[in-house]
Structure 1
């Protein structure tokens, strides 16, 4: 988890390209985190961005 959105975005993109799967950048309370889409499921977090290694990033909102 990170308090820095820009740093979390960089890590999210790198993780998506490394795993070659879609990852989600989410916010929980005042921190940001990144998980592969299939592992996030019904967690009570606010999804901010989706990073697809083939098409790039897009805002979820």
Structure 2
């Protein structure tokens, strides 16, 4: 994707929670990451995840 000029970021959830429960419980996280992406910032993302590689993050246990 990067070769085609498309920027992407990967967020990995370390817990064993199902997708629907994850979305319901971590709505503030999802909105914070989206807001950072829109504004080109990382301040909210840094509070909720740990960067482990270029554009790869692990979700912190909340």
TM-score by length of 1: 0.34
More helix by percentage: 2
When Rg is computed on C-alpha atoms for both structures, the one with the higher figure is: 2
Greater strand percent: which structure?
Answer: 1
Q: TM-score normalised to the size of structure 2?
A: 0.34
Structure with the larger RCO, 1 or 2 (CA within 8 Å, 6+ apart): 2
